């Protein structure tokens, strides 16, 4: 097991990573603005269910595979990029998102969960983050590396539930105010859609960090 001091340092570093807005935060906030805190919290649960998949992949060595195999990295990279661009285009085409009709067809909990999982699972940068970041805190003298990586991964998920949960609640609070101002919310549609597309393009252009086994 990692030492307490190592966990504290790791937690601080992980918090800095989690607080920085990325695809997951953007997805959660957009759902909170459109459908309220409950929808945003549901999206948070989906996102970090996907993070658990990434943690399991890191423990089993899939993260290493993504870094060592340019083919595997490319497949995941373009799948994730395509999904982010899809979310962005859908947001831009959703003309009702700036109107009071925004809640006319709310997304189901199952759909929010599923989309949240995909946002996280199809994020190659998260896998690469776990590969590059977690080993820095693994101490061979503290026991099984796999167990330590599992602990670090679970801590990351718990911290993510807290930070993304805070984003979700904040979005739920300001959502009604934004929905009562169609012009402002119309601008939010453009910002969210454009940012998702930008993240997708950036992901697609990320070079494969190939390493020979």
- Render pLDDT for 185-195 as a digit per residue (tens, 0 to 9): 556 667 767 87
CB 209 within 8 A of CB 132: no
Q: Is residue 134 part of a domain?
A: yes
CA dist 180 and 35 (Å) reads: 13
**For 11-32, what is the mean pLDDT?**
85
What does the pLDDT read at residue 103?
43
Q: Is residue 65 part of a domain?
A: yes
Domain count, the chain: 1
Tokens matching residue 176: 């009604």
Q: Is residue 164 part of a domain?
A: yes
pLDDT, one tens digit per residue, over 7-21 is: 898 898 888 878 877
Q: Is residue 190 part of a domain?
A: yes
Tokens matching residue 120: 């996280």
pLDDT, one tens digit per residue, over 104-163 is: 467 788 999 999 999 898 877 787 777 767 777 777 677 777 788 889 999 999 999 999
Q: What residue numbers bound the domain in which 147 lies?
A: 4-205
What does the pLDDT read at residue 179?
65
What does the pLDDT read at residue 162?
95
Q: Is residue 121 part of a domain?
A: yes
pLDDT, one tens digit per residue, over 36-88 is: 889 999 999 999 999 999 888 888 875 666 566 777 667 767 876 787 788 77
Q: Is residue 72 part of a domain?
A: yes
If one counts every other C-beta atom within 10 angstroms of the C-beta of residue 52, the result is 16
CA dist 154 and 149 (Å) reads: 9
DSSP code per residue over 83-134:
HHHHHHHHHHH-GGGGSGGGGSSPPPHHHHHHHHHHHHHT-HHHHHHHHHHG
Q: What percent of the chain has pLDDT over 90?
A: 21
Does the pLDDT value for residue 212 go beyond 60? Answer: no
CA dist 188 and 169 (Å) reads: 17
Q: Is residue 135 part of a domain?
A: yes
What does the pLDDT read at residue 211?
45
Residue that is written with structure tokens 């030492």 in the block: 3
What does the pLDDT read at residue 101?
40
Q: Is residue 212 part of a domain?
A: no
């Amino acid at each position: 097991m990692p030492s307490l001091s190592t966990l504290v340092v790791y937690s601080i570093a992980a918090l800095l990573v989690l607080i920085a807005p990325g695809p997951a935060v953007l997805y959660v906030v957009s759902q909170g603005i459109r459908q309220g805190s409950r929808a945003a919290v549901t999206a948070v649960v989906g996102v970090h269910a996907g993070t658990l998949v990434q943690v399991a992949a890191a423990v089993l060595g899939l993260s290493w595979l993504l870094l060592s195999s340019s083919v595997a990295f490319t497949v995941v990279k373009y799948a994730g990029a395509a999904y982010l661009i899809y979310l962005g285009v859908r947001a831009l085409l959703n003309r009702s998102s700036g109107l009071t009709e925004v809640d006319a067809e709310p997304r189901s909990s199952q759909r929010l969960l599923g989309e949240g999982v995909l946002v996280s699972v199809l994020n190659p940068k998260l896998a690469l983050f776990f590969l590059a970041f977690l080993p820095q805190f693994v101490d061979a003298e503290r026991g099984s590396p796999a167990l330590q990586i599992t602990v670090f991964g679970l801590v990351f998920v718990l911290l993510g539930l807290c930070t993304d949960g805070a984003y979700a609640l904040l979005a739920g609070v300001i959502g009604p105010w934004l929905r009562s101002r169609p012009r402002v919310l119309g601008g939010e549609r453009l910002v969210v859609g454009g940012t998702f597309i930008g993240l997708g393009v950036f992901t697609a252009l990320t070079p494969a960090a190939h390493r020979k086994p």
